[in-house]
Amino acid sequence: MPPASFDERTGAEVREGLPPPLSDLSRLCIHTETTSPWKLPEAASAYERAGVPAITVWRESVAGHGPAEARRILEDHGLEIVSYVRGGFFAAASSAARRAAVAENVRVIEEAATLGAPLVVLVCGAVPGQPLETSRAQIRQGLEHIVPYAEAAGVRLGIEALHPVYADSRSAINTLRQANDLAETLDTPGLGVVVDVYHLWWDPDLRKEIARSGRNNRLFAFHICDWKTPTTHLLLDRGLMGEGCIPLRRIRGWMEEAGFEGHYEVEIFSEIYWREDQREFLEKIKRAYLAHT
């Protein structure tokens, strides 16, 4: 075994090719759906008490408050808003449905601006049985329609590529390469990509495509959790960092190598953890974040 080396700042052991562990919570962000049983005011207050500095807001958690009141709640707790989730679902069988999707995205952008969220995350959509190429063309058209609204509102748009298991109905954009291609085709500085390790950890081109996004200043967000083996549900069985097979620290290293300076957003959708006491779950998140990100 080669001799261990140690990070000068944190004193932590450095394994070859990996960045040192995180030493504090300063870049931690939590997606409200991670603690789904909590309403927005409860989540905001618990995050503040737990020393979580930033929050990503699920659209459903704003319902019942409205974006202006939600903004006051988050400001009262000193939370930085990282993103608003989600827009997209541009692909649809009828032109009326595609027009409705564009109108809905314009509303999402307006809500994000009122909320004070600098970024809207896009899950782009797919139609079961429709060729993926057709869905991709519809996604591109939808984006072309909403980009001017986002620019006017000062809100950025992040294309999130989804794991191919969701290519039937949730997104025809399944690799970071496809997301980069799309963002580059539209070529506007407010359109970039979102890297979610749950969706992209398996991709042999991931490091290369993260570097490409970084070079083009399109690396807008980084979502973290883990892929459990075996996983029992492809939507609602995400694991805590370190609980599964994702090489999270290595991917974080690639993000930093590419110049990413944003937050590390914990996005754990889990029926198992939602049944737990959410305060205890939040403490587990903090421990897993420091130990494995």
Place of tokens 């996983």: 231
The Cα 158–Cα 150 span in angstroms is 11
**Nearer Cβ to Zn ion (111/265):** 265
Q: How far is the CB of 163 from Zn ion (least distance, A)?
A: 10
Helix (H) or strand (E) holding 17: none
Contacts of 277 (CB under 8 A, 6+ apart): none
The Cα 17–Cα 121 span in angstroms is 30
Q: How far is the CB of 76 from Zn ion (least distance, A)?
A: 26
Q: Are 119 and 83 in contact (CB under 8 A)?
A: yes
**Nearer Cβ to Zn ion (150/162):** 162
Q: Are 193 and 180 in contact (CB under 8 A)?
A: yes
The Cα 59–Cα 95 span in angstroms is 25
Residues that bind Zn ion (CB under 5 A): 196, 223, 267
The Cα 36–Cα 78 span in angstroms is 20
The alpha carbon of 196 is separated from its chain's Cα centroid by a whole number of angstroms, namely: 6
Q: How far is the CB of 84 from Zn ion (least distance, A)?
A: 13
Q: How far is the CB of 265 from Zn ion (least distance, A)?
A: 7
Query: Beta strand 264-266 with 80-88: parallel, antiparallel or unpaired?
Result: unpaired
Q: How far is the CB of 221 from Zn ion (least distance, A)?
A: 8
Q: Is 98 left (phi over 0), alpha (psi -120 to 50) or beta?
A: alpha
Q: How far is the CB of 196 from Zn ion (least distance, A)?
A: 3
**Nearer Cβ to Zn ion (59/223):** 223
